[in-house]
Chains A and B, each alone.
Chain A
Amino acid sequence: MSEINLISLQAKLPKFIPLGRSGLLPALHATQKVYGWLPQEVVAEIAKALKVPLADVHGVIEFYSLFYNEPVGRKIIRVCTDQACALKGADGILRHLCSHHGLEAGQTTPDLSLTIEASPCLGLCEQAPAALVDDKTETNIDLETGAYNLGRPQSIVAGSLRLLTANCGEGTTSLGKYGKYTAFLKALEMTPDSVVAEIKASGLVGRGGAAFPTGVKWEGAAKADGDQKYVVCNADESEPGTFKDRVLLLDDPNRLIEGMLIAGYAIGSDKGFIYLRGEYPYILPVLEEALAEARMAGLLGKNILNSGFSFDIEVRLGAGAYICGEETALFESIEGKRGFPRVKPPFPTTNGLFDKPTVINNVETFFNVPFIIEKGAAEYRKIGTEKSPGSKLFCVSGDVAQPGVYEVPFGITLRELLKMAGGVVRNDIPQFHNSTEDVVRNGIPQDPALAGYHPAPQLQAVLFGGAAGAFATSAHLDVRLTFEDLRAAGLPLGSGVVMVFNETRDLRDALKRLGKFFAHESCGKCYPCQMGTQRQMEILDRVARGETLPDDALRLQDVGWTMTDASLCGLGQTAASAVLSAMKLWPELFVEGQRSKVG
């Protein structure tokens, strides 16, 4: 091993020392920027400086996919091979790239110039296939021509409402353009209790997947004992098929800051954290700049606008671990630990970040807050349905004509949403024949005498809610997209994923990728998920290869229900959700010796 120069490290470390162990992930990120990886001597220095046991620091590095304890390429290409990208030929791109450089996925060139990796979902599904090259995205990669869009990913925003996405679609909205934080100013005129009451009255529920009433959460943290409380934004968006938060954060960071300020005021907190997923490094400078701008304008910091209320926000970057989207694992990560979820109860409202009362909400949830405070709960409730008020962002991807973020009021049907997105498409037939009516009626035959006639593409399935969601079929097209209707239909809203598969798709391939995803992302803490995700992946691999063994369906059921019923956290509890739904819908896929129904 070549000599490691520790001098460049010594300049980087001091600012993390006051953070103690909590400074571990930031220190490792900063160090890896300097050295490209994390050599032992360097890690030992970090451990000493932050007073963290050596073994623990190593355990942390080992946990996160984006930390390397051996040399990697100066350039790292991460090709997304998850569901949405796979539909657009991601495997071919990875194969081509690897053979071009004489590497296999996961390998580094001998001269350390390049590493190529297959990546779980990068949150660029509407611009699939996509890759992350160091800190930059490459989207809409064309395998034939090699062309791609480099740099900031596009924000494709559509739908019938522009409440949450009012400032999205045209680059980052500056503070000047966003305007005064009028909702926050209004909140300052209210008592914290009445702010909480307004949020409760609005009926807002969390948009991260668990659909917990936001006002109840805030009330719990407000009432909890403790002189230090925290507001945390969960921006660890990594549910496969989800990309809404990426758009919100990039285009309208001030709405998030304002939402968090209101939460801070409501619960009596002076400190917020935004935990940004490690695969979104290009959002970090946007957030940092927006925070700096807000500080300059006196909207963050001590005694804001002479109100006596102080609040500031720090951004923390994750390092490649889906589990850190689980709220307690996220806290552990901010605290500088492996992202192991905690046993609940106690809940975050009393024992959250650093064991203090904490409100943790998803990006989209915070985006609802300024509107509710500014216009009032009654006005907010005019949107959506009685039990699901407000608007909802759906991440539409896969085989549709116009993938993107769709903002719609709760209550439209899946059919209407798919129609907005231009309907189902197939890669192998011209798109102009895929009129939306065809989709909506699910394939009304066109006149075969027409030149270039193709039967309209059919909807085979929708992966609903994400990898942790469930499959829907054309039988679900008239389900209204509300919490209550979806629950009744057995479809989890999750993070708003609507990933469409046309009739030519081999769903066994989708299932195989689901299996791989959860096996890769299980933290390994509780047995059902640690071993169950592995066994599930092995069986789904067999199914995809057409080598299903007798009783594999029973094994999948037992593993699936054991994970669902006995796992410690939400990851394990939902790691079999989509698979079990597929087994119910298409039992023939899991029969021994059965080839794919679409061949």
Chain B
Amino acid sequence: MSVAFFMDGKQISVEEGKTLLEAARENGIDIPTICFHEATTSNALCRICVVEVEGQRLLQPACIVKAATNLKVQTRSERVVRARKTILEMLASTMDLSDAPEILTMMDEYGADASRFPDAQRRESEVKDDNPMFIRDYSKCLLCWRCAQVCADDAQYAFAINFNGRGFETQIGTFFERTIPETTCVLCGQCVGVCPTGALKPKREFLLEQGLTPDQISVLGTGRKKRKA
């Protein structure tokens, strides 16, 4: 069964059960996303993918709203653009986006001003370097939840990480701030793989960025071991 509806005035048709985001992508319409990842449950929390749906009072997240017959969807209306631009500006005033090129591109596209909010409190945090596999730099974390999701029932069932604090003060954390080796972490690396902003980074990559040479890193005994010839 397929459903036909309108996106930006264009009639499109997709298989029943597809989300507006999937429908847009199949039809070459760009809807930006941040928290969305194909391998994790969609929580609709970044709200960057919001679109205007006729008949709905509020903007709707395209990552979870399903396409339905005769729906009229605007993916770039004035309201949509204001929301996206403001969210991006707030992100830039909150965290370090230097390792998030996709978001920086998005900011250019929406004309988002990184210095829009003067005297804004930022989420700053020391780099946590407590295990041989990866580092955690929560100054770069935008709370997409992907790491916590793959660590839990979206993939690994390790349940090593959860949240500290709430609201603006939320941060990904472990049980009473224990180091990674003291948690149930199995060092599977999936969290690093889904991190969109370099908040989680392989130790080796981090050390190379710090200016160490591969040989120096081998001596440190961290990162990937060289296979013997």
Q: Which residues of A contact B (CB under 8 A)?
A: 40, 43-44, 53-59, 62-63, 69, 321, 338, 343, 519-528, 530-535, 538, 542, 549, 555, 558-559, 561-562, 564-568, 573
* Nearest CB in chain A: distance from B45 CB, A: 5
* Nearest CB in chain B: distance from A391 CB, A: 28
Complex alpha-carbon distance, A69 and B160, angstroms: 18
Tell me whether A526 and B163 are in contact in the complex, defined as CB-CB below 8 angstroms, given that A533-B168, A565-B79, A566-B59 are known contacts. no
- Segment with Cβ contacts to A, from B10-18, B89-97, B219-227: B89-97
> At the interface, yes or no: B46 with Cβ under 8 Å from chain A?
yes
| The one of A57, A519, A549 that contacts B118, using a Cβ cutoff of 8 Å | A549
| The one of A55, A522, A523, A525 that contacts B161, using a Cβ cutoff of 8 Å | A55
Which of A530, A538, A564 has the most chain B CB within a 10 Å cutoff?
A530
> At the interface, yes or no: B83 with Cβ under 8 Å from chain A?
yes
Complex alpha-carbon distance, A222 and B195, angstroms: 43
- Segment with Cβ contacts to A, from B126-134, B170-178, B205-213: B170-178
* Interface pair A535/B50, CB less than 8 Å apart: no
Complex alpha-carbon distance, A522 and B170, angstroms: 10
Say whether chain A's binding surface is mostly helix, strand, loop, or mixed. helix
* Interface pair A63/B175, CB less than 8 Å apart: no
* Interface pair B58/A573, CB less than 8 Å apart: yes
Complex alpha-carbon distance, A534 and B58, angstroms: 22
Complex alpha-carbon distance, A520 and B48, angstroms: 23
* Interface pair A562/B82, CB less than 8 Å apart: yes
Complex alpha-carbon distance, A535 and B122, angstroms: 10
Contact with A along B141-159 (1 / 0, CB 8 A): 0110000000010000001
Task: With CB as the reference atom, state the residue of chain B lying closest to A562.
Answer: B86
* Interface pair A566/B83, CB less than 8 Å apart: yes
* Interface pair A62/B167, CB less than 8 Å apart: no
Which of A44, A69, A525, A542 has the most chain B CB within a 10 Å cutoff?
A525
* A343 / chain B contacts, CB cutoff of 8 Å: 43-44, 61, 64
> At the interface, yes or no: B229 with Cβ under 8 Å from chain A?
no
Complex alpha-carbon distance, A294 and B182, angstroms: 49
> At the interface, yes or no: B1 with Cβ under 8 Å from chain A?
no
| The one of B47, B79, B120 that contacts A568, using a Cβ cutoff of 8 Å | B47
| The one of B34, B58, B121, B173 that contacts A62, using a Cβ cutoff of 8 Å | B173
* Interface pair B50/A534, CB less than 8 Å apart: no
* Interface pair A528/B87, CB less than 8 Å apart: yes
* Interface pair B47/A566, CB less than 8 Å apart: yes
Tell me whether A533 and B120 are in contact in the complex, defined as CB-CB below 8 angstroms, given that A54-B175, A55-B159, A525-B43 are known contacts. no
* B169 / chain A contacts, CB cutoff of 8 Å: 524
| The one of B90, B116, B117 that contacts A527, using a Cβ cutoff of 8 Å | B90
* Interface pair A55/B166, CB less than 8 Å apart: no
* Interface pair B167/A59, CB less than 8 Å apart: no
Which of B90, B120, B142 has the most chain A CB within a 10 Å cutoff?
B90
> At the interface, yes or no: B164 with Cβ under 8 Å from chain A?
yes
* A524 / chain B contacts, CB cutoff of 8 Å: 143, 163, 165-170
* Nearest CB in chain B: distance from A564 CB, A: 8
* A526 / chain B contacts, CB cutoff of 8 Å: 44-47
Task: With CB as the reference atom, state the residue of chain B lying closest to A47.
Answer: B175
Query: Can you list 21 A-B pairs, Cβ within 8 angstroms, ordered by A?
Result: A56-B162, A58-B173, A59-B162, A63-B163, A343-B43, A521-B167, A527-B34, A530-B167, A531-B87, A531-B94, A531-B168, A532-B90, A534-B121, A535-B93, A535-B117, A538-B120, A555-B116, A559-B90, A561-B82, A561-B86, A566-B83
* Nearest CB in chain A: distance from B37 CB, A: 16
* Interface pair A568/B44, CB less than 8 Å apart: yes
* Interface pair A56/B168, CB less than 8 Å apart: no
Say whether chain B's binding surface is mostly helix, strand, loop, or mixed. loop
* Interface pair A538/B168, CB less than 8 Å apart: no
Q: Which residues of B contact A (CB under 8 A)?
A: 34, 43-48, 50, 58-59, 61, 64, 79, 82-83, 85-87, 89-91, 93-94, 116-121, 142-143, 152, 159-170, 173-176, 183-184
* Interface pair B64/A40, CB less than 8 Å apart: no
Task: With CB as the reference atom, state the residue of chain B lying closest to A342.
Answer: B43
Which of A44, A55, A555, A561 has the most chain B CB within a 10 Å cutoff?
A55
* Nearest CB in chain B: distance from A338 CB, A: 7
* A532 / chain B contacts, CB cutoff of 8 Å: 86, 90
* Nearest CB in chain B: distance from A370 CB, A: 34
* Nearest CB in chain B: distance from A67 CB, A: 11
* Nearest CB in chain A: distance from B106 CB, A: 13
Tell me whether A523 and B86 are in contact in the complex, defined as CB-CB below 8 angstroms, given that A55-B159, A58-B174 are known contacts. no
* Interface pair A59/B164, CB less than 8 Å apart: yes
* Interface pair A528/B47, CB less than 8 Å apart: yes
* Nearest CB in chain A: distance from B2 CB, A: 22
* Interface pair A527/B184, CB less than 8 Å apart: no
Complex alpha-carbon distance, A43 and B175, angstroms: 10
* B161 / chain A contacts, CB cutoff of 8 Å: 55
* B121 / chain A contacts, CB cutoff of 8 Å: 534, 538
A-B contacts besides A43-B176, A54-B184, 10 pairs, CB < 8 Å: A55-B184, A58-B162, A58-B164, A59-B164, A62-B173, A338-B166, A558-B89, A561-B79, A565-B50, A566-B59
* Nearest CB in chain B: distance from A312 CB, A: 31
* B183 / chain A contacts, CB cutoff of 8 Å: 54-55
Complex alpha-carbon distance, A558 and B89, angstroms: 10
Complex alpha-carbon distance, A53 and B86, angstroms: 36
Complex alpha-carbon distance, A474 and B155, angstroms: 58
Task: With CB as the reference atom, state the residue of chain A lying closest to B159.
Answer: A53
* B91 / chain A contacts, CB cutoff of 8 Å: 527, 531
Complex alpha-carbon distance, A564 and B169, angstroms: 21
* Interface pair B117/A555, CB less than 8 Å apart: yes
* Nearest CB in chain B: distance from A551 CB, A: 9
Complex alpha-carbon distance, A294 and B223, angstroms: 65
| The one of B143, B159, B167 that contacts A533, using a Cβ cutoff of 8 Å | B167
* Nearest CB in chain B: distance from A71 CB, A: 14
Task: With CB as the reference atom, state the residue of chain A lying closest to B83.
Answer: A566
* B119 / chain A contacts, CB cutoff of 8 Å: 538, 542
| The one of A519, A555, A573 that contacts B168, using a Cβ cutoff of 8 Å | A519
* Interface pair B44/A528, CB less than 8 Å apart: no
| The one of B34, B58, B116, B160 that contacts A566, using a Cβ cutoff of 8 Å | B58
* Nearest CB in chain A: distance from B47 CB, A: 4
* A558 / chain B contacts, CB cutoff of 8 Å: 82, 85-86, 89
* Nearest CB in chain A: distance from B146 CB, A: 14
Complex alpha-carbon distance, A63 and B117, angstroms: 27
Tell me whether A562 and B83 are in contact in the complex, defined as CB-CB below 8 angstroms, given that A343-B44, A531-B94, A538-B119 are known contacts. yes
* A565 / chain B contacts, CB cutoff of 8 Å: 50, 58-59, 79, 82-83
* B85 / chain A contacts, CB cutoff of 8 Å: 558
Complex alpha-carbon distance, A321 and B47, angstroms: 23
* Nearest CB in chain B: distance from A588 CB, A: 22
* A573 / chain B contacts, CB cutoff of 8 Å: 58
Complex alpha-carbon distance, A492 and B189, angstroms: 49
Complex alpha-carbon distance, A533 and B120, angstroms: 12
Complex alpha-carbon distance, A528 and B118, angstroms: 18
Task: List the 9 closest A-B pairs by CB distance, nearest first.
Answer: A59-B162, A53-B159, A524-B170, A534-B168, A54-B175, A55-B162, A522-B167, A531-B90, A562-B86
* B64 / chain A contacts, CB cutoff of 8 Å: 343
* Interface pair B167/A519, CB less than 8 Å apart: yes
Complex alpha-carbon distance, A62 and B174, angstroms: 11
Complex alpha-carbon distance, A257 and B70, angstroms: 45
Task: With CB as the reference atom, state the residue of chain A lying closest to B45.
Answer: A526
* Interface pair A523/B167, CB less than 8 Å apart: yes
* B94 / chain A contacts, CB cutoff of 8 Å: 531, 534
Complex alpha-carbon distance, A378 and B160, angstroms: 58
